[in-house]
């Protein structure tokens, strides 16, 4: 029973010889690339993916008394998992998006869900602008040309799509990230409008209907949360409304766009370009996109800077510690567990 030993409770102790509190981790979070050891100094981590047991058996045998779960952005938690974890009080997500957590079920059971709050907000917004400028000016395509020594042969390298100045930009989802994206684009003398579940207090023009927004814009930047309502919010109609020069930037979640239709629209020239950090079936990326110079592809890394992970680490630790402490309180729960804003 090597497996049992390696997950026996209370083996690790803190410096003052108190056993470390147990935290369940179902799959490896991205933040472990930087802070795994520091988490291990604070908590006894039950790493489900290191066990040879099937998940259900592992949870039954080792996690029934677990009060806190640390989730990667991929960790899926539904009623079936929660049924095996009767003691859970907190689900702490490393990411901003919590679309893989069944928030309704958590609320029913009185389980608190927390996310990365503002830890990644500015860096994700920076990435949105980086992707937009990369698509507009074909920076990765130009960089490939130079590295493949095509410059001397190809002096008429294609120019940028169009001036960014004075362009109409549509922000889809004016939450924390959308607001930071809009603020940055104002400095490029762009005109900002947005759609969102409801009108926000802002000076930007609001379109309740995304089709209307797309008709008035050259560029759409997708910043909203993935929910049942926003799944495939960018479909063929929206892309056709955006038009053949139109550009779509997605730093939200892959399923916000109907990816098959996006690929068709790009291949058929129905839209002008796309900057995509997220995809419907990560890490799979439609191979048709690899041939296109008006597309920029990054592997779900928006906001991944050392400093953002450090902020996230502090937030996660603070939230998890609050479960085991009578003096510390939660840093920041999700404002409304059933309705993520977009």
Contact between 224 and 251 under an 8 Å Cβ cutoff? The reply is no
Stretch that binds its own copies, among 54-62, 151-159, 218-226, 252-260 (CB under 8 A): 151-159
**Site mask, its own copies, residues 54-93, x = CB under 8 A?**
----------------------------------------
For its own copies, the closer CB: 128 or 233: 128
Q: Is 146 in the site for its own copies (CB under 8 A)?
A: yes
For residues 94 and 263, give the distance between their C-alpha atoms in angstroms, rounded to a whole number.
30
Q: 170: helix, coil or strand?
A: strand
**Site mask, its own copies, residues 11-40, x = CB under 8 A?**
----------------------x-------
CB of 96 to its own copies, least distance (A): 15
Q: How far is CA 169 from the centre of its chain?
A: 21
Q: Is 5 in the site for its own copies (CB under 8 A)?
A: no
For its own copies, the closer CB: 58 or 73: 73
For its own copies, the closer CB: 26 or 59: 26
For its own copies, the closer CB: 76 or 301: 301
Residues annotated as catalytic are: 253, 282, 300
Among positions 18, 54, 110, 152, the unique one binding its own copies when judged by CB under 8 A: 152
Backbone angles phi, psi at 296, to 5 degrees: -120, 130
For residues 301 and 283, give the distance between their C-alpha atoms in angstroms, rounded to a whole number.
12
Q: Is 296 in the site for its own copies (CB under 8 A)?
A: yes
CB of 175 to its own copies, least distance (A): 18
Task: Give the number of other CB atoms < 10 A from CB of residue 11.
Answer: 11
First to last CA, the chain: 48
For residues 167 and 177, give the distance between their C-alpha atoms in angstroms, rounded to a whole number.
20
Q: Is 140 in the site for its own copies (CB under 8 A)?
A: yes
Among positions 61, 168, 305, 314, the unique one binding its own copies when judged by CB under 8 A: 305
Contact between 102 and 78 under an 8 Å Cβ cutoff? The reply is yes
For residues 34 and 38, give the distance between their C-alpha atoms in angstroms, rounded to a whole number.
9
Q: How far is CA 53 from the centre of its chain?
A: 30
Residues 6+ apart with CB under 8 A from 277: 127, 131, 250, 251, 298, 299, 300, 301, 302
For residues 95 and 227, give the distance between their C-alpha atoms in angstroms, rounded to a whole number.
15
Q: Is 49 in the site for its own copies (CB under 8 A)?
A: no
For residue 242, the surrounding DSSP H or E stretch is helix 236-242
Structure-token pair, residue 272: 């002008």
For its own copies, the closer CB: 154 or 338: 154
**Site mask, its own copies, residues 170-199, x = CB under 8 A?**
-------------xxxxxxx----------
For residues 300 and 29, give the distance between their C-alpha atoms in angstroms, rounded to a whole number.
13
Q: Rule CB under 8 A: which of 263-282 touch its own copies?
A: 282
CB of 213 to its own copies, least distance (A): 22
Structure-token pair, residue 50: 């290191």
Q: Which residues here bind its own copies, judged by CB under 8 A?
A: 33, 122-123, 126-127, 129-131, 133-134, 136-137, 139-140, 142-147, 151-152, 154-157, 159-165, 183-189, 282-285, 290, 296-299, 301, 304-309
């Amino acid at each position: 029973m090597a497996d049992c030993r390696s997950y026996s409770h209370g083996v690790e102790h803190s410096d003052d010889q108190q056993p470390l509190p147990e935290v369940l981790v179902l799959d490896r979070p991205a933040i472990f690339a930087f802070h795994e050891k520091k988490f291990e100094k604070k908590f006894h981590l039950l790493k489900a993916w290191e066990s040879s047991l099937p998940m259900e058996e592992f949870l039954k045998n080792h996690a029934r008394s677990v009060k806190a779960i640390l989730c990667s952005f991929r960790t899926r938690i539904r009623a079936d998992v929660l049924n095996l974890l009767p003691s859970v009080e907190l689900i702490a997500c490393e990411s901003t998006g919590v679309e893989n957590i069944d928030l309704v079920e958590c609320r029913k059971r009185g389980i608190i869900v927390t996310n990365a709050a503002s830890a990644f907000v500015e860096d994700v917004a920076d990435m949105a602008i980086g992707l937009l400028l990369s698509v507009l000016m074909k920076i990765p395509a130009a960089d490939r040309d130079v590295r493949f020594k095509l410059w001397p042969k190809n002096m008429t390298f294609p120019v940028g799509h169009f001036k960014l100045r004075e362009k109409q930009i549509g922000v889809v989802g004016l939450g924390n990230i959308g607001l930071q994206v809009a603020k940055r684009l104002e400095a490029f003398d762009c005109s900002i409008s947005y759609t969102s579940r409801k009108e926000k207090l802002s000076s930007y023009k609001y379109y309740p209907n995304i089709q209307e927004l797309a008709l008035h814009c050259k560029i759409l930047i997708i910043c909203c949360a993935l929910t049942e309502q926003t799944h495939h919010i960018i479909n063929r109609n929206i892309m056709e409304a955006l038009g053949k020069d139109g550009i779509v930037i997605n730093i939200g979640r892959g399923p916000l766009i109907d990816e098959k239709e996006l690929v068709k629209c790009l291949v058929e020239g129905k839209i002008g370009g796309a900057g995509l950090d997220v995809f419907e079936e990560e890490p799979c990326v439609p191979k048709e996109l690899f041939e296109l110079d008006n597309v920029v592809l990054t592997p779900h890394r928006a906001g991944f800077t050392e400093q953002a992970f450090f902020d996230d680490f502090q937030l996660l630790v603070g939230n998890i510690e609050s479960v085991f402490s009578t003096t510390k309180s939660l840093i920041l729960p999700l404002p409304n567990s059933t309705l993520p804003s977009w």
